[in-house]
Structures are given as C-alpha cells and as structure tokens.
Amino acid sequence: MVFNFHRMLGLGSGFTEPSPQLTAQLAPIKVESVTARDKYTVVFKLKEPHVGALQGLVDDETAYMYPPEVIKQHGDAKDWKVLVGTGPFELTDVVEESSATWTRNPNYWGFDEKFPENRLPYVDELRALFLPEVETLISAIRTRKVDISHRMSGIDQAISLQQTNPEIQVSKVFFRSQESFGVNVQKKPFDDIRVRKALQMALDLETANKAYFHGLAEMTPVGRSRFPGQFVPFAEWPEEVKNVFTYDPEGAEALLDEAGYPRGSDGIRFKTTLKWIDSFLVGYAELATGFWREIGVDVELELIAGAEFTPVTGDRDYEMVVSITANLSPGYIHYSSGFNWNTANPQDPWYEAKVEAADAASSREELHALAREMDMYANAQFWTIWGGMAPQLVLAQPWVNGYSSELNLGSGQYWLQYSRMWIDSAQKKEMGQ
C-alpha cells in the first residue's frame, strides 16, 4: 500500500510527481507522508485534519492496489495481461470493443453477507459484452443471449421488452440526475436569478415524466447530494423556493419581462446554447428546449462527447451545459471556482467561506450541518435548473439470483455485486437455454 500511494501521490519510492486525477479526487485531503509502521499498519500523515480522509483514501478509486513488482517491471498498469489483484475475479480475456471475460478467483477471501457460510464468487465465469446500442442490448436480452444488463437508460425499450418477455426481472436504480441543466452565472442573461427562476418555472416536470419517462422518473427536486444528513429535503424548503418548481409559463414570462428580456418581433427573448453529452438522453434535452421555446427562449442544442465534458466545464466554455447532480458527497457538492462539477461557476464569497469551513470541519456532524446549509443556499440561488432524475434499469433473466437492486458495494465499486449473483441452472435448462 505504501508503494502504491507513493506512486499515486508522488511521495516516495522513486516517485516525485503526483497523479493529476488523484490529486483532483482527493482535494482537499492533503497528504504529507505515507509510511509503514509494521507489516500490517500504514500511517497517513495529513498536512491538516480532514473528516473525509478515511473514506477518500481507502474506499474509492484511489484505493486500487497493484503489486510493486508489476509496476517496477512494466512501468504502469495499462496492460491487462499483467494485472494482479485480490478481487473475486481474474481478468482472463479482452477483445477490444467486443467483450471482456473474468474467471473465478479460487483464492478469493470474501464471503456472502447474506449467506455468511458461502465463499464468493458463485459463478465460474463472468463475461461482459460491449453493446453500446440500446436496441442491440434489448435484442440480446429478448433472445436470452444475455443474463443481466447493468444500468440501462432505454425506458421505452425496456417497457417494450416487458410486454414481449414478461418473465424478465426489471429493477430501478436511481444513481444521479443526468437530466438537469447548469447555467454559467458569470454570463448574461444567467447572472440574473429571475432568468434562472424563469427557466425552472417553464419546465413542466410532471408532464415530461409521464410523456418521456412513463412516470418512472423521480421529479421531486434534490440539490447536489442525496446522502443522508447532508441535504435539506424538498418538503423543508422555503415556500418561495418550492413554488418555483411549479409549472408556470405565464409567471416565467413575467420574470423575463421584469429582468429586461422582452419578446422581440420574432417572439424571441434571447438565444443561447446548451451543451449536452451525446450519450445522455438527447430526447429529454430536446423536450426541455421545447418548453423554453414556449416562453421565448431559443436554446440551440449542441451535442458533445462525454470526454469533452471535463475540459468544457473546466474552461467554463459554455452558457448552458448538462449538470450531473443529486449524487455528490460533501467533497463534490460545493461550487468552488476551480472544480469541474461546478457548472454554475458562481464565485460566491459567502459560499466559498462555507467551502473552506467544510474542508476544515473537525467532525462528521459539523460537516453535515455545513453541507445542509450550503445545499439550501445553492438551491435557493437556482444555480442548477432541475430536470428530474431518470432511473437506470437493470434487466435480468428469471434464472439470475442474488441481485437486490444495489447500485454499488462501496464508493466506486460498481461491479462487486456480480460476485454475489448466481445462475439457477435447472431453471435455465427448463426454459430451453
């Protein structure tokens, strides 16, 4: 572990440059040194206390450990053929843009939490297929070539599948909102809260849910976080804030008139551009732009690749952009000026002071209290236009057992649940498979 953190943080063992990605992920956890007290004890010395240090260091993507001898021999961990780990499966085959195959690790240390006498994993082989098109995935499930899919967003296709294959098990998982809208408050007209409120009031969330998500989405507004104790539930928001989420196009138009953006001779108040990740629900973004068009706001939709999201938000090169929200921990809920989840770019002195206080919090209770205060302040500023939260769907054949709608089994651990699943071979055979 010492070698790995030296490598990632540039703190020794021949490493002097930290990983840029890890530095961003761990901010504001500032590690001064990592040493081994004995064979079983690693000591992290921080430059300053941080209540989130333990989780940040040992329960996230930061905690992936590689044998030093592999790194020393190969220089990095990019070649899957030389990876060595302690997980439930061993990666045994990769076909580029086609599939990846793992086989059971016979020496895995874990046991099933639900059935403690059972050593994991249950299955001998796990094969993941690369099926980027939803229609291709649905066809594979319908023809029983796939046992289970993970976090699919195609609601229309899933409903169609249920009609033709009612035996398919469907689970809803709410991960985060990828259907909300960030507005750059450093640019006009979004520097005016009346404009931001108008955009929110113009969205008919309930109709959108019924028409686009078949009523399966969660439309109750949420701030940056849904972590227990870290946010203010919508029912407790001030009435003057809650009322803005009621569909009111006439009220939205009145606010835009008041803000100095009347309709022109062409009926348009102002034009802007919304940058949207092309793999997200483009149809929903188009629906939103239609609502805004009704109040005289002309929003051009510009599709970007997912890889462009970070540089676009980092450079603040947008007027409106898709905002990923409702699933961020205290380290991510703030809108500090240098953070790429900061789609609002507010640069608010009051908020920045709260960010510094949260970073210096000496207890989880103090951190949570600050998080709630920050959450409510940001919600009242309408730095994000709430668009709802669509479910991600898990589709499983009836012979798949052991899945209980878990999103993950630890921060960043989105695949461990597969080690807890098993196939009812007798049932599968009875169904002709």
| pLDDT(60) > 70 | no
Which CATH number covers residue 330?
3.10.105.10
Average pLDDT on 143-158 reads 85
More confident call, 63 vs 159: 159
Per the domain annotation, does 79 fall within a domain?
no
- Does residue 160 share a domain with residue 11? no
Identify the pLDDT of residue 173: 87
- Does residue 211 share a domain with residue 339? yes
Q: Strand, coil or helix: what is 98?
A: coil
Each residue's pLDDT tens digit, 352-376: 898 888 878 888 888 889 989 988 9
Q: Rounded mean pLDDT of the chain? A: 89
Number of domains in the chain: 3
Distances (CA, A) of 348 to 28, 192, 334, 374: 19, 14, 11, 11
Per the domain annotation, does 193 fall within a domain?
yes
- Does residue 355 share a domain with residue 281? yes
Identify the pLDDT of residue 337: 47
More confident call, 145 vs 341: 145
Tokens read off for 11 = 């703190």
More confident call, 32 vs 22: 32
Which CATH number covers residue 159?
3.40.190.10
- Does residue 195 share a domain with residue 161? no
Cis peptide before 121 (omega within 30 of 0): yes
- Does residue 332 share a domain with residue 200? yes
Q: Are 362 and 336 in contact (CB under 8 A)?
A: no
Residue 321 sits in which domain range?
A: 177-385
**Distance (Å, whole) CA 334 – CA 230:** 12
- Does residue 271 share a domain with residue 323? yes
- Does residue 159 share a domain with residue 120? yes
Per the domain annotation, does 420 fall within a domain?
yes
Identify the pLDDT of residue 328: 63
| pLDDT(106) > 90 | yes
- Does residue 376 share a domain with residue 242? yes
